[in-house]
Structure 1
Amino acid sequence: MLVTAGAAGIGRAIANAFVEDGAKVHVCDINEAALAECRGTLKVTTSRIDVSQENEVKTLVAEAEAALDGLDVLINNAGIAGPTGAVDEIATEDWRQTLNINLNGQFYCAHYAVPLLRQAGEAAIVNLSSAAGRFGYAFRSPYSASKWAIIGLTQSLAKELGPSGIRVNAILPGIVEGPRMAGVIRARAQQMGISYEAMEAQYLERISLRHMVTPDDIASTALFLCSKAGWNISGQSLSVCGNVESL
């Protein structure tokens, strides 16, 4: 299986879960130091690539095929938080970068991986969307737009690839513990003119369970979707979020 942005955060948790389950795993990331650490602690092969660059994704899939002797699972995890700001304040370059990484990267990976997945006979794609893929998200419009688009991509590919035995689903994480979410909260707090702690409390109040989810929560769901237990699940958007009520 191939997991993008798999050297840290959610991707690393997913890679770890699949390795522990006995899978052969190939990981890509843009951070060479994180990849080196990943190779040192997990039994994985790696590629340093940027998923927003089509030519690099083509190379990635070829390297994954060689390392794994085929491909039966693609986890489209790579993504960025994007800018925080009003629509008239966000730089157009930041908009393009967010869409290029979050959406175009998933398309490129599917484009080059699907021929190998068809050869596998029974295969799965899991696309990482977000709770922001089911709610509008003020001041985070590039991120939310990209995550809504991933839902459409997922449902379209599920219909298209189902006859080939390829299941396609999306996971919608909520507020995930880690440095990226901390950065989002910090930026929003500065914009609102309140403390980090007050902003974090506002986020938690929008979650029914009143706590963040962990990367391991997401990894467990990905493993389930790609297992025999998930044999008849396709075209679905599964929220792993503690029931985020609004954003």
Structure 2
Amino acid sequence: MVRKDRIAGRTALVTGAGNGLGRAIATSLSAHGARVVLAGRNEAKVVSVAGEISANGGSAHAVRCDTSDPESVAAVAESLADEEISILVNNAGVAGPVAPLVDVEPEAWDDVFAVNVRGVYLMCRAFLPPMVHRRSGDVINLASVSGKRPLAGRTPYTASKMAVLGLTVTLAHEVGSSGVTVNSLSPGPVRGPRMERNFRLEAQRLGVSEADAEREFVSRAALHRMVEEDEVADAVVAMLHMPGLSAADIDLSAGMVAR
């Protein structure tokens, strides 16, 4: 049996696409034949990534979008009214403070939830109705293994990612009968600037070297390593090729969690 390509020819909207995981996901989707709309708060970054994709023969369009701002999301949705967005990847997120809960200021807590949870809600609210109307579409929300295991000093982040898991499974049941799938992907520690920042802050908190902080962290994973950005992008592609996947969370953590 010839496997049907479920990506080529479709239009995918990826948030937080100016760097890191968003850039890797958008690039991979383009390589599989999707037209990609890259959204991000830093317009220069998403324009740059769109340029890279176009230079490699792909079709890409960049838009500035603050996913935590209803007006910004509404403006983007209006500007894309003529696009048939059938893949939505909610990747935009912030790491938040590294501190005990009692030392986290309410403003810092709210900032994390504004992007990590409110942003997913607003994007789904804006782009799900046309999918439901067409009776087809795929939504993938980037969660984290940190929403499923203890991570001392990161309460705002872990709580926000657990909220994404709850949002995903509930929304999947709301729209599943319309042929729309909603799933989440939970990466473990992904090699890159964000983890370097976390190791630096954790080292300061514990009074150890950054290398020791990294070794202790990755020792919790079965593979004793971090996940690469390209592996996360490959997982998004794989999920889109599983039409029966719905209300599911895929763990990509090098064995950071076991359940």
TM over 0.5: yes
Q: Distance in 2 between matches of 1:105 and 1:243?
A: 28
Q: Distance in 1 between matches of 2:219 and 2:62?
A: 39
Query: Is the Cα contact below 8 Å between 1:87 and 1:139 reproduced in 2?
Result: yes
Q: How does 1:196-215 map to 2 (within 5 A)?
A: 196-215=210-229
Query: Is the Cα contact below 8 Å between 1:158 and 1:169 reproduced in 2?
Result: yes
**What's 1:76 paired with?**
90
Give the deviation of 1:245 after TM superposition: 3.8
1:105-141 deviation line (CA, Å, top 9, x unaligned) = 0000000111121233221000000001111321100
Q: How does 1:1-150 map to 2 (within 5 A)?
A: 1-42=12-53, 43-66=59-82, 69-150=83-164
Give the deviation of 1:6 after TM superposition: 0.9
Give the deviation of 1:62 after TM superposition: 2.4
**What's 1:244 paired with?**
256
Give the deviation of 1:97 after TM superposition: 0.1
Give the deviation of 1:63 after TM superposition: 2.4
Q: Distance in 2 between matches of 1:226 and 1:46?
A: 22
Give the deviation of 1:193 after TM superposition: 0.9
Q: Distance in 1 between matches of 2:134 and 2:87?
A: 9
Moved more, 234-243 or 35-44: 35-44
Tell me: CA distance 1:36–1:71, structure 2 relative to 1, closer, same or farther (3 Å).
Answer: closer
- TM-score, with length taken from structure 1: 0.95
Secondary structure in structure 1 of the residue aligned to 2:250 = strand
Q: How does 1:143-162 map to 2 (within 5 A)?
A: 143-162=157-176
Q: Percent identity?
A: 31
Gaps of 5+ in 1: none
1:61-109 deviation line (CA, Å, top 9, x unaligned) = 222333xx21111100000000000111111110000000000000000
Give the deviation of 1:38 after TM superposition: 1.1
Secondary structure in structure 1 of the residue aligned to 2:100 = coil
- TM-score, with length taken from structure 2: 0.91
Secondary structure in structure 1 of the residue aligned to 2:85 = coil
1:182-217 deviation line (CA, Å, top 9, x unaligned) = 111111111111110010000111111011111111
Q: Distance in 1 between matches of 2:77 and 2:16?
A: 14
Gaps of 5+ in 2: 1-11, 54-58
One-letter amino acid of the structure 1 residue matched with residue 199 of structure 2: I
Q: Distance in 2 between matches of 1:33 and 1:185?
A: 28
* Aligned-CA RMSD value: 1.2
Tell me: CA distance 1:65–1:219, structure 2 relative to 1, closer, same or farther (3 Å).
Answer: farther
1:1-47 deviation line (CA, Å, top 9, x unaligned) = 10001121001111011101111110101112212211221131011
